[in-house]
Amino acid sequence: MTTSREPDNRPTPPQPYYQSPQQPPPAPKNGLGTTALVLGILGALFSLIPFVGIIAWPLVILGLIFGIIGFFRSRSGKATNGGVAIAGTILSLIGLIICVVYASAFTSAVATLPAPPASAPAAPGAVAPGAADATGNPGDTLASGDLQLTAGPLTDETPQFSGPLKCTEVSYRNTGTAQAPYNTFDWKMQNPQGAITEATFGGDNTLSSGQLAPGGTTSGQVCFDAKGNQDGAYVLTYNGTLFGNTVAWNN
């Protein structure tokens, strides 16, 4: 036996509606524009200060770069502070112009400075500048450390068993509180052509070598080989102590 079923005419209940959550819009990338404004302000201020303005160079250059990038970010919609980026770019450009003007003015001022006069070389037979700490004429007393030294004029001598010599009488006085050495070979002679020779043995009263007690004195003759004797000025120099200075007598 078949039972007939009546159609179900009840309304279908509504299905629940599910809405997908919306993603929040990305945050604007305003950092470069803001940084450009800060750098532009600092760079423009520092560029106005002489000498200190050198630190403005990296500020204005970076401000100019960041400002341009920030402006294009605002044009593409990635940033919202296009005006700030433009202001930073303008300030950085002004600071850069000031830096260039200052640098050009400084370069021009340096270029117009007169060149220092060239020191003339010492004439042959004269003491070169800076070669001696004190100079004098024959007979003058000069100090080298604790020693007071006196040297007479150079005279020509021709001993029997040697060649021609130039000799001078020298004397020492020790004004210090300790012993001081003396030696013939602490003396040198420069001829008119600038050649420097060592002392040699010769003469009638050759200076020996030794030590001088405080207040002690000694004297003797110092001679130099004078082969090829030349006309002109000769220079007698002394430098014999570790802490003494070089002294010279122009002849």
**pLDDT tens digit sequence for 22-40:** 677 778 888 898 999 999 9
Check whether residue 105 and residue 161 sit in a common domain. Answer: no
45-to-112, 201, 248 alpha-carbon distances in Å: 29, 77, 60
Q: Quick check: is 173 in a domain?
A: yes
User: Does residue 3 belong to any structural domain of this protein?
Assistant: no
pLDDT of residue 60: 93
Q: Is the pLDDT of residue 93 over 90?
A: yes
204/83 Cα distance (integer angstroms): 100
Res. 230 pLDDT band, cuts 50 70 90:
confident
User: Among 109, 125, 156, where does a domain finish?
Assistant: 109
Given this model, what pLDDT does residue 174 score? 95
The domain boundary, picked from 92, 109, 126, lies at 109
How much is the pLDDT for 5? 60
In a domain? residue 163: yes
Does residue 6 lie within any of the structural domains?
A: no
Q: Is residue 1 part of a domain?
A: no
* Structure-token match 């959550």, residue found: 21
Please state whether beta strands 134-136 and 247-250 pair in parallel, antiparallel, or not at all (unpaired).
parallel
Assess whether pLDDT exceeds 80 at residue 41: yes
In a domain, 209, yes or no: yes
Query: In b/e form, how buried is each residue of 5-39, taking b as 16+ CB within 10 angstroms?
Result: eeeeeeeeeeeeeeeeeeeeeeeebbebbbbbbeb
Residue 220 lies in domain:
134-250
Into how many domains does the chain fold? 2
Q: Is residue 129 part of a domain?
A: no
pTM above 0.85, yes or no: no
Q: Are 99 and 50 in contact (CB under 8 A)?
A: no
230 inside domain:
yes
The sign one gets for the Cα dihedral 131, 240, 151, 142 is positive
Instruction: Read off the CATH number of the domain in which 190 is found.
Output: 2.60.40.1240
**146 and 44 in a common domain:** no
Instruction: Give the range among 26-35, 57-66, 67-76, 238-247 with minimum mean pLDDT.
Output: 238-247
Which pLDDT score is estimated for 26? Answer: 75
State the average pLDDT over residues 105-110.
Answer: 84
pLDDT (average), residues 147-155: 93
Question: Is pLDDT above 50 for 129?
Answer: no
Give the separation between CA 132 and CA 173, rounded to whole angstroms.
Answer: 20
Give the Å distances, CA to CA, from 24 to 21, 27, 61, 79, 223: 9, 9, 36, 16, 104
Q: Indicate whether 241 and 159 sit together in one domain.
A: yes
